[in-house]
């Protein structure tokens, strides 16, 4: 599948985006090991989260999905997962792979975790190392999936200083800590998304956070509850980008999660001159949400504060395109983590933008993007959903047609992507 994008004018609109992927994954996992009924609304019905749902169901969890965005889980507690009798295929989802490693290393059964070609090349030692320190036995293919997790391991609580800020690693350790007697803690070098901690507390776990150190008490009795999943800020970022680059548009994106550990993309765009505001701020359960209002803006290049990197780690493909459309140059530094995502996102965005006539100078952990005008052309997404969508938005303001190759992975996080943008006036077509 590929996208064909023609220059087009985004118009005024009020829209919603699919549910938050990070929260949807965690709701499925924690609902499955909580006692009683967990009702999830706003669930992201994308391929990544459906892979997690299928994995939990394979471990004999009773799960119903009465509508695409509603899920009901009947959980039996921490010890109620059972041998699936087959490898669990997590598709393209690094989040599912890393969090599931923490969840499953304290179970009574052996299990294998597999994924697609992209996931099979992603580094897993960052979770294998701390989980092994807790007593887990995890075999891998030279640090990459498939992972083979030994059952009946007695886990011990540890304190772990994370060398790299990662919400996935932090969450894996906290989930393993549920199965260890005593206090397990982790210190993160920079703030990362805290959806796991918020949801654990809401379900009855004892979790504390102080000076970057997060501590969980093992063996809690988690209780099922209602979880309302807000719109995904990472998905909303593509809408924000399209509006900012347009000539004259005023768009409201309703009911978007604005967890302060996720809002780096907003701060960075504001520093570039974006006309962007939060309206109707409120809470859905434990998560803050708002309507995001965005108007067309003349962006200016800047040096992006490295302190914001962990708060915007998934949105840098969007920010690369914003930088390419801005006046002057934009410097990104401290973003080396992007090289081990679904693709090497620094190299992938640099290659795509160069193909569209933009100058990009790469470094090991950053890049300098010189603002300019997009020309037409054919660009490769490298099978990475965020690369595909970011370059598609660039195509809406290019001087001729942009073809984005290998876009199947967009369904992992943003089902209905092309339909939503067509409803806003963009000319984006899917072709086989």
Greatest Cα-to-Cα distance within the chain, rounded to the nearest angstrom: 61
Give residue limits of the domains in the chain.
2-19+231-431, 21-228
Global pTM?
A: 0.96
Q: Is residue 57 a contact partner of residue 85, using CB atoms and an 8 Å limit?
A: no
Q: Count of residues for the chain?
A: 432
Tens-place pLDDT, residues 259-310? 999 999 999 999 999 999 999 999 999 999 999 999 999 999 999 999 999 9
CA distance 249 to 239: 11
Active site residues: 314
Instruction: Render 235-290 in DSSP notation, one character per residue.
Output: HHHHHHHHHHHSSS-EEEEEEEE--TTTTHHHHHHHHTT-EEEEEEEEEETTEEEE
326 has a pLDDT exceeding 90: yes
Going by the DSSP 8-state scheme, the letter that residue 230 receives in this structure is P
How much of the chain exceeds pLDDT 90, in percent?
A: 99
CA distance 101 to 171: 10
Domain 21-228 in the same topology as domain 2-19+231-431: yes
432 has a pLDDT exceeding 90: no
The DSSP element (H or E) to which 295 belongs, if any, is strand 287-295
β-strand pairing of 359-363 with 366-370:
antiparallel
Which residue from 255, 253, 263, 325 is spatially nearest to 284, judged by alpha carbons? 255
Tens-place pLDDT, residues 167-190? 999 999 999 999 999 999 999 999
Question: How sure is the predictor about 253, in pLDDT bands with cuts at 50, 70 and 90?
Answer: very high
Start-to-end Cα distance in the chain: 4
Query: Domain 21-228 has what CATH class?
Result: alpha beta
How much of the chain exceeds pLDDT 70, in percent?
A: 100
pLDDT on residue 318: 98
Strand, coil or helix: 176: helix
User: How much is the mean pLDDT over the chain?
Assistant: 97
Tens-place pLDDT, residues 108-143? 999 999 999 999 999 999 999 999 999 999 999 999
Dihedrals phi, psi of 189, to nearest 5 degrees: -75, -15
Strand, coil or helix: 75: strand
Tens-place pLDDT, residues 399-419? 999 999 999 999 999 999 999
Instruction: Name the CATH topology of 2-19+231-431.
Output: UDP-n-acetylglucosamine1-carboxyvinyl-transferase; Chain (3.65.10)
Which residue from 390, 351, 356 is spatially nearest to 237, judged by alpha carbons? 390
- Any bridge partners for residue 50, and if so which? none
CA distance 190 to 166: 9
Degrees, nearest 5: CA angle 409-268-395 = 45
Q: For 405, left (φ over 0), alpha (ψ -120 to 50), or beta?
A: beta
């Amino acid at each position: 599948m590929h996208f064909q994008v023609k220059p087009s004018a985004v118009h005024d609109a009020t829209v919603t985006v699919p549910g938050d992927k990070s929260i949807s994954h965690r709701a499925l996992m924690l609902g499955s090991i909580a006692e009683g009924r967990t009702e999830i609304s706003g669930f992201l019905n994308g391929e990544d989260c459906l892979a997690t749902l299928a994995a939990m169901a394979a471990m004999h969890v009773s799960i119903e999905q009465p509508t695409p965005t509603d899920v009901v889980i009947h959980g039996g507690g921490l010890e109620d997962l059972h041998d699936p009798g087959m490898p669990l295929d997590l598709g393209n989802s690094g989040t599912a792979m890393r969090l599931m490693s923490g969840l499953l290393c304290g179970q009574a059964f052996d299990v294998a975790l597999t994924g697609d070609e992209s996931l099979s090349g992603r580094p897993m030692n960052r979770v294998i190392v701390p989980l092994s320190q807790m007593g887990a036995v995890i075999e891998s293919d030279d640090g990459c999936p498939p992972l083979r997790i030994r059952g009946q391991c007695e886990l011990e609580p540890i304190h772990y200083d994370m060398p790299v800020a990662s919400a996935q690693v932090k969450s894996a350790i906290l989930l393993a800590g549920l199965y260890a007697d005593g206090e397990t803690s982790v210190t993160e070098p920079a703030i990362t998304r805290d959806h796991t901690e918020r949801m654990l507390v809401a379900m009855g776990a004892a979790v504390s956070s102080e000076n970057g150190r997060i501590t969980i008490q093992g063996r809690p009795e988690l209780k099922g509850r209602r979880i309302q999943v807000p719109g995904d800020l990472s998905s909303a970022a593509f809408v924000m980008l399209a509006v900012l680059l347009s000539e004259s548009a005023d768009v409201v994106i309703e009911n978007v999660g604005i967890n302060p550990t996720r809002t780096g993309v907003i701060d960075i765009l504001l520093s570039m001159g974006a006309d962007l505001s939060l309206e109707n701020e409120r809470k859905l359960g434990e998560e803050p949400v708002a309507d995001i209002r965005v108007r067309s803006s003349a962006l200016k290049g800047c040096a992006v504060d490295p302190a914001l990197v962990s708060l915007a780690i998934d949105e840098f493909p969007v920010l690369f395109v914003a930088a390419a459309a801005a006046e002057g140059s934009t410097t990104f530094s401290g973003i080396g983590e992007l090289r081990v995502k679904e693709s090497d996102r620094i190299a992938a965005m640099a290659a795509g933008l160069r193909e569209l006539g933009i100058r990009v100078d790469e470094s090991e952990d950053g890049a300098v993007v010189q603002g300019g005008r997009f020309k037409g052309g054919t660009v490769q997404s490298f099978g990475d959903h965020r690369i595909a969508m970011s370059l598609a938005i660039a195509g809406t303001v290019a001087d001729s047609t942009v073809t984005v190759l290998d876009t199947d992975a967009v369904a992992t996080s943003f089902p209905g992507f092309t339909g939503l943008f067509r409803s806003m006036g963009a000319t984006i077509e899917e072709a086989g």
